[in-house]
A and B are shown apart, each in its own frame.
Chain A
């Protein structure tokens, strides 16, 4: 176990609380940003554009102008907090790092947070397309084949179960400040019993010779 676990836990906890506060506090204004971006992304595949996404609090209300729902039908909606929760994970991972406030770490976090917006747009697209494929009755059956229905049914589940958090972990891994962890560089020179001792760097070997 790392010797410096307490400061790491403290930094991570602070990052987690800040992430939680930002996620909860900014969910409504962020939904106002996410709705038009997602609408534009969905309309890329529509000719003519028929999807309208209207933010209402932290909900995104989905409408299609070419499908008329009966008054008793439930209007399609996506809860943005179900899509954006991975921001908390991202914030915590960057904050847990020693020297979390260095320029490189902060820049890495900002780049990862910007990339996360695209992940969120992809999440909204998955949820909306799943609604189109599954929840519009005869219209869904007429416009989506079996494979497409299965794919779009699975897409939001994949996002919710592993995709959202997996994306945050991947972005952190790619954009964090530290070099990639190595067993030998971080194990204080310890080697496993029977393992080959690390060879000195080529330049060092030359000096030794």
Chain B
């Protein structure tokens, strides 16, 4: 089998993956969805983070999507609420051939894991902002952003190898 045909399943996957990403992004960006789903969800993330930090005896105030410490405030937005990683996972899961049940199982387990990791991310960023402000931007952009997406990709790979049922390509 030629190179072109062996690449075809990969191209189909990538096309579906990007289409799903665009659709998810557009839906999440719509005013009503943003106001009634994304923002309340982000507030939930913020309250979870505050609970985590208060358990570690940090002084925390919460107002909507903003977390305040004595010397620092963090407004959690899209890109920091874990929704972006959930979108990547959902798009990859939808693009990969599998049954509805296995997709649902992979998505649910993956989203829970992503949100647990994201709580650690936001909590650590608040702590960094309060105690080591000079490292905040580097860790925010360079470290955590990649780690959360890597976690989503890792979960997709584990899922696709364990639960997905149809092969994407037959060996030539």
Residues of A at the B interface (CB closer than 8 Å) are 1-2, 12, 16, 19-20, 23-24, 81-82, 85-86, 88-89, 92-93, 154, 157-158, 160-163, 165-166, 169-170, 173-174, 179-187, 192, 195, 201
Contacts and interface: CB of A to CB of B under 8 A. Distances in A.
Contacts of A92: 146, 150
A129 B171 CA distance: 45
A187 B165 contact: no
A187 B161 contact: yes
Contact of B165 (A81, A157, A165, A192): A192
A93 B153 contact: yes
A88 B142 contact: yes
B113 to A, nearest CB: 12
Given A162-B25, A174-B14, A181-B164, 9 more contacts: A23-B142, A24-B138, A85-B146, A158-B25, A165-B149, A173-B17, A174-B7, A180-B167, A181-B160
Nearest to B91: A166
A104 to B, nearest CB: 12
A166 B21 contact: yes
A158 B26 CA distance: 9
11 contacts: A20-B142, A81-B141, A157-B29, A157-B78, A160-B79, A162-B25, A170-B14, A181-B157, A181-B161, A183-B160, A183-B164
A1 B158 contact: yes
Nearest to A198: B167
Contact of B88 (A160, A169, A174, A201): A169
A187 B162 contact: yes
Contacts of B142: 20, 23-24, 81, 85, 88
A166 B18 contact: yes
Given A162-B84, A181-B168, A88 B146 contact: yes
B108 interface: no
B107 interface: no
B92 interface: yes
Main secondary structure of the interface of B (DSSP, over half): helix
Q: Select the residue from A180, A184, A187 with max chain B CB neighbours within 10 A.
A: A180
Contacts of B153: 89, 93, 169
Contacts of B146: 16, 19-20, 85-86, 88-89, 92, 165
A123 to B, nearest CB: 13
A78 to B, nearest CB: 14
B24 interface: yes
B134 to A, nearest CB: 14
Q: Select the residue from A81, A166, A179 with max chain B CB neighbours within 10 A.
A: A166
Contact of A89 (B7, B150, B160, B168): B150
Pick the 6 closest A-B CB pairs, nearest first. A182-B167, A180-B168, A186-B161, A165-B149, A88-B146, A170-B14
B44 interface: no
B58 interface: no
B136 interface: no
